[in-house]
Structure 1
Amino acid sequence: MFKVISKDKNTKARTGKIQTAHGEVNTPCFMPCATYGVVRTLSNEELKNIGIEIILSNTYHLYLRPGLGIIKTLGSLHNFMNWDRPILTDSGGFQVFSLSSLRKISEEGVEFQSHIDGSRHFFSPEDVIEIQQQLGSDIMMPLDECVEYPSERDRVKTSLELTLRWAERSKAVHSRQLTVDSQEEKVRTCEPSTVNRQLFFGIAQGSTYLDLRKEAVNRLLEMNFAGYAIGGLSVGEPEELMFEILGFTLDLLPDDKPRYVMGVGSPIDILNAISLGADMFDCVMPTRNGRNGCAFTSEGKLTIRNTQYAEDKRPVDLNCNCFTCKNYSRAYIRHLFSLDEMLGLRLLSLHNLYFYNNIIRNAKKAIEKGRFEEFKREFEAKIQ
């Protein structure tokens, strides 16, 4: 399922491959957020042309809109959105718990009110797994509780225990389905179904308490997940503390399983996490910033609405080979944003995703050559 290909000689950075039902994912990898089954403003072909191998969708949002019934009618999430590469589905736990006054947590699960029409719904850990099985994603995540920062230790401890009990219940559902599916495949003697090949990752919570992070990892390792995610970071804690927690937790995880850092996403943050041994990342930052007129470049961020770019003939980034930079000037893209023209949002989103994916691509090359530390240092010097 996962194989480490190479390791950097001076850091904990590594490259690898994850085998999924819809193809290989080379790591490190960045997963654009296709929350509702679409990376906003961009087509699947554009994502493929950039080199995106895997995307992330959200169980909570897809459950509410368009609804599981519609997706099932089309066959699967892959069929629904015409995407033939891997998909990771997040459980939607973070979104549910961010509803605060609109949700109620119990041992059985979480009751919540739709942010769309106010209707009431209930997610148990088992429900979340069964929904993701019906979506047919390649990698799925369990329902978990992400506490706010800062939180008292007792609050975090109680939350973590609930999350771990939910993880056990989720794993039981997944294991039962694997058994049933395997028995059915023996009868059918055909290719294994997507459900049979769905990878299931555990999520280590614990907020800023290292002993609770360790307890979370130890308990999850006993459950033997296909990979491990680190959640509850980048929720308001200082950057130095975030990387202390991240480095500590990554060191506890097994070498032969993929490591997914959830929601951590500036280019520098990603490179720092890679140096600590992380493999997978997701963040709305490149596309959200793009839609708001902010471009990531090899010299730092660029706010395209600024008047200084009104007559600027240069591309967004002189060192970029993306479609946007090869075809359009800063002046023209600024003009599009002044008109609130959709093309402007598309062009900067496209550029930002290319920029992110190119960082990952160059990071892999640097790891393979044993010079990742030097590569990261050079990148930091350019954008500061």
Structure 2
Amino acid sequence: MFSITHEEENTKARLGKLVLPKSSITLKTPCFIGSTKRGFVRHLTPDNLINIPDLELLSINLPQIIYKPGLTILKRFNKHCQESSETKKSVEETKKEEKENSNKIFQEEKKQEKEKEKEKEKEKKIEIEKEKEIEIENKTVTEKDNNKQNQIKDGLKRYYGIGSKHALLLKIRNSEFADFYYPSTDEKIACCASEGTKVFITPSQYMEFASEINPDITVSPAIEVVGNNKRDKIEKAIKRSMKWLNIAISKKTSRTGSLFAVIHAVEDPKIRNKYLDRLLTIVKSGKVDGFMFGCLFLNESRIERKKRIGQIIESIPNELPRGIVGDATLSQILDCVENGIDLINSSFPLRLTELNLVLNYQNPLQNLRSENKNKNENKNKNENKNENENENIEIENENKNEFKKQFEPLLFNLRNVKYEDDNKPFVVGCQCFACKNHTRQYVYHLISVREMTAMILMNLHNLYQYSLFFKDMRWAIKNDKFIQFKEAIQLLEKSNTKK
């Protein structure tokens, strides 16, 4: 399921491949999980998602779909899909039988005609072979089309028309904000539905939803609390979550997908280690397929978050994937990846779009890549070591100066009046749909007249730039340049705050 392909020399960052057999998708980690609301990536339709590279895994928050579409409608939909697939199979079987019978009759007629007209038989054989070839070609074309349509037999992907190029991850926690402000009980999880009402879900109901949604990954139900909360409250939340994890394991089927256990990354190391020991005994039995870090991005400091993640990762197995949920910025994402996180579910690009902000991610690896090329050229020339070191130091200094000079703001607001006459694309050189076809002044106009197309174009661009950020991050890990990459991103963010 998960394999590590490379580990960075200077940090705990790593490259890996996460195979999701249900959707026939292989994720290159570290990667991001697309945030959704009520099952949709906000402001975009499923056909838009295909144009965004590396967006292959989407998160579904159960409280947002608990009423609409709801369990009963999903059950009806899945039943209808199964019935329609059965009728299609029966029709195909009858067609095959009819063809087989007709072929038998045809062969008998052939045998009788062989003795009488040998010459005519040869012509007929040629015609029959041609007809068969045409039939086979038509069959293959129709079977391919049917396979493409019927790859997703049922579940939420087919209900929403998401398509086979995207996988689903089911969880309770919202990536935009933590909505665990309703008190839960021993038997039920309290959460906030999309309508703002309080909803109680039992662990068995959660897994029943999972079997109808048919996701690739299901995160175990858990209560996430603020890490520095009272000891009694934290212990109670952990006990309940452990109990619910065991229920989720007992209800796990092929339809619920891989099961990820929630790790409570609380502040107190004694409570944390006590819980981890119990969790690791379950993990050793092979009933858990990965981890999802919880109780983070809940008002804790950046230093505290890094400390907790680093301490926990030292005690959990290395061969399982690790995910995290939270509204993280680029530098906060790099903190997580630096400590060994593989999957990040952050609503960062969506939050920018909602604020009319455009992500201007300039590739800081251009200088690092040119530095790599220069090093390789120096090796090929077989120059002296001292000369190479001096040249590399000069190149690094030049790259740093060039990097500082070429900085533009990381984020800019298209609501600003100065973009009224700006006919440039969002980011010069960006290959997204919005930058190829539209300008800043056009989107400024759309925002000023409150046209929803502005949100579509900005979200397309922000997600595209966000995917480039992860692509460059993977390159930096592969070439052991992660620290330089992180420093470059921090410079980008500082330049934005100054301007």
TM interval, short-chain normalised: 0.7 to 0.9
In the superposition, the TM-score normalised over structure 1's length comes to 0.87
Match of 2:195 in 1: 116
Match of 2:109 in 1: none
For structure 1, which segment, 310-319 or 265-274, has the greater mean C-alpha deviation from structure 2 after superposition?
310-319
Is 1:142 the counterpart of 2:220 in the alignment? Answer: yes
The runs of at least 4 aligned residues of structure 1 exceeding 4 Å deviation read 92-97, 111-115
Contact 1:136–1:195, Cα closer than 8 Å, also in 2: yes
Code of the aligned partner of 2:258: L
- The structural deviation recorded for 1:218 is 2.5
Q: Please list every run of 5 or more consecutive structure 1 residues that lacks an aligned counterpart in the other structure.
A: 178-193
Match of 1:43 in 2: 45
Code of the aligned partner of 1:15: L
Q: How many residues align?
A: 362
- CA distance in 1: counterparts of 2:204 and 2:213, whole angstroms: 14
- CA distance in 2: counterparts of 1:96 and 1:348, whole angstroms: 21
Match of 1:182 in 2: none
Contact 1:295–1:348, Cα closer than 8 Å, also in 2: yes
Match of 1:241 among 276, 295, 304: 304
Match of 1:185 in 2: none
Change (3 A) 1:371 1:310: same
- CA distance in 1: counterparts of 2:410 and 2:192, whole angstroms: 40
- CA distance in 2: counterparts of 1:95 and 1:312, whole angstroms: 32
Secondary structure of 1:116's aligned partner = coil
Code of the aligned partner of 2:263: A
Match of 1:341 in 2: 451
Identical counterparts, % of pairs: 25
Contact 2:227–2:265, Cα closer than 8 Å, also in 1: no
Match of 1:222 among 272, 275, 281: 281
- CA distance in 1: counterparts of 2:456 and 2:56, whole angstroms: 20
- CA distance in 1: counterparts of 2:72 and 2:32, whole angstroms: 29
Match of 1:190 in 2: none
For 1:81-230, list aligned pairs within 5 A: 81-83=160-162, 84=164, 85-92=166-173, 98=179, 100=181, 103-110=182-189, 116=195, 121-148=199-226, 150-174=228-252, 177=253, 194-195=254-255, 198-224=257-283, 225-230=288-293
Is 1:77 the counterpart of 2:156 in the alignment? Answer: yes
Residues 113-133 of structure 1, C-alpha deviations (whole Å, 9 max, x = no match): 856385x75311122122112
Contact 1:91–1:140, Cα closer than 8 Å, also in 2: no
- CA distance in 1: counterparts of 2:273 and 2:46, whole angstroms: 39
Match of 1:6 in 2: 6
Change (3 A) 1:278 1:149: closer
Match of 1:63 among 56, 59, 66: 66
Secondary structure of 2:41's aligned partner = coil
- Higher helix fraction: Structure 1 or Structure 2? 2
Match of 1:273 in 2: 336
In the superposition, the TM-score normalised over structure 2's length comes to 0.68
Contact 1:107–1:162, Cα closer than 8 Å, also in 2: yes
Change (3 A) 1:66 1:366: same
Q: Please list every run of 5 or more consecutive structure 2 residues that lacks an aligned counterpart in the other structure.
A: 79-153, 362-408, 495-499
Change (3 A) 1:141 1:294: same
Root-mean-square deviation (CA, aligned residues, Å) is 2.4
Secondary structure of 1:140's aligned partner = strand
Match of 2:322 in 1: 259
Code of the aligned partner of 2:168: I
Residues 76-99 of structure 1, C-alpha deviations (whole Å, 9 max, x = no match): 011112221211011358999836
Residues 177-211 of structure 1, C-alpha deviations (whole Å, 9 max, x = no match): 4xxxxxxxxxxxxxxxx517x10000011432233
Contact 1:156–1:206, Cα closer than 8 Å, also in 2: no
Change (3 A) 1:11 1:95: closer
For 1:300-315, list aligned pairs within 5 A: 300-315=410-425
- CA distance in 1: counterparts of 2:291 and 2:344, whole angstroms: 12
Match of 1:54 among 57, 80, 87: 57
- The structural deviation recorded for 1:54 is 0.9
For structure 1, which segment, 234-243 or 374-383, has the greater mean C-alpha deviation from structure 2 after superposition?
374-383
Change (3 A) 1:114 1:382: closer
- CA distance in 2: counterparts of 1:338 and 1:93, whole angstroms: 30
Match of 2:432 in 1: 322
